Amino acid sequence: MMSLDEIIQNRRSVREFNNEEVSDEIVREIVQAGLFAPSACNVCGTRVIYIKDKQIIKRIIKLQTAHFINENTKILCIVYDNSGDNREYKETALSAAAAIENMLLKATQLNIATCWVANLPRQKFLKEILNVPRNFDIISFICFGRTNIKNKFVPRKYNVNDILYIDKFDTSKTINLAPPRLNVFLRRLARGIYLRLPKFSWIVKFARRFERKF
């Protein structure tokens, strides 16, 4: 049995899965771990859609999503109740993220590889495909499965001394973290436009060049 530290450190995003089955029982165990996450005001607003229908996955791929998703990818779509009032601190996303991380860690313990994916089509189209009501937001996908990939490690950029500050934010320790604002603005604009464009194959091919692949 892995210790908590081992589980935390062994969780790595994996984007290549083999065809080995994952039982529904294991999926239920993973989802159950999400239930124990904290949630703002204990709303417990996480809902999980296990997408098994290949036709549905094909429709999602057609609208664009992460490059490695194909019709055989096992996907949990995490949605969260969006009726909370603390938008300043994004409680919908935060509560869902807590549940997602719990699920990723549980999957790691069960030797199931995962990748958290937020490179998704526009909410309104995805909600329509998955029949998600208006009072829920789609937060992310968890792609999961068995894998042959071993010890894939994306190095971390900082150590504890770099990220732990006392009393006030220490800008002297945070070099080059924020890219120039214009750069951020342009990237957001480009993503916004891309999401709204029709997905002709040449547009998708062009956009793929800008998707970060690990």
Measured at the CA of 53, the angle between CA 49 and CA 58, to 5 degrees, comes to 105
Cα–Cα distance between 10 and 7 in angstroms, integer? 5
Distance of closest approach, residue 93 Cβ to ligand FMN, in angstroms: 9
105 contacts ligand FMN (rule: CB under 6 A): no
**C-beta of 72 vs 171, nearer to ligand FMN:** 72
Cα–Cα distance between 158 and 162 in angstroms, integer? 6
- Which residues, including other chains, have CB under 8 Å from residue 99's CB and lie 6 or more apart? 34, 35, 37, 39, 46, 78, 80
Distance of closest approach, residue 168 Cβ to ligand FMN, in angstroms: 27
**C-beta of 15 vs 74, nearer to ligand FMN:** 15
Distance of closest approach, residue 40 Cβ to ligand FMN, in angstroms: 18
15 contacts ligand FMN (rule: CB under 6 A): yes
**C-beta of 118 vs 190, nearer to ligand FMN:** 118
Q: Tell which one of 154, 178, 182, 193 touches ligand FMN (CB under 6 A).
A: 154
Query: Residue 17 belongs to what H/E stretch?
Result: none
Write the CA distances from 62 to 24, 67, 69, integer angstroms.
Answer: 27, 11, 11
Classify the C-alpha dihedral 105-106-111-114 as positive or negative: negative
Q: How many residues in the chain?
A: 214
Q: Are 96 and 44 in contact (CB under 8 A)?
A: no
**C-beta of 109 vs 119, nearer to ligand FMN:** 119
Distance of closest approach, residue 24 Cβ to ligand FMN, in angstroms: 25
Distance of closest approach, residue 156 Cβ to ligand FMN, in angstroms: 8
Strand arrangement, sheet containing 46-51: 46-51, 74-81, 136-145, 113-117
Within 40-79, the residues that bind ligand FMN by CB under 6 A are 66
Distance of closest approach, residue 94 Cβ to ligand FMN, in angstroms: 11
**C-beta of 46 vs 140, nearer to ligand FMN:** 140
12 contacts ligand FMN (rule: CB under 6 A): yes
13 contacts ligand FMN (rule: CB under 6 A): yes
Q: Tell which one of 2, 35, 41, 118 touches ligand FMN (CB under 6 A).
A: 118
- Residues near ligand FMN (CB under 6 A) are 12-13, 15, 66, 115-119, 140, 154, 214
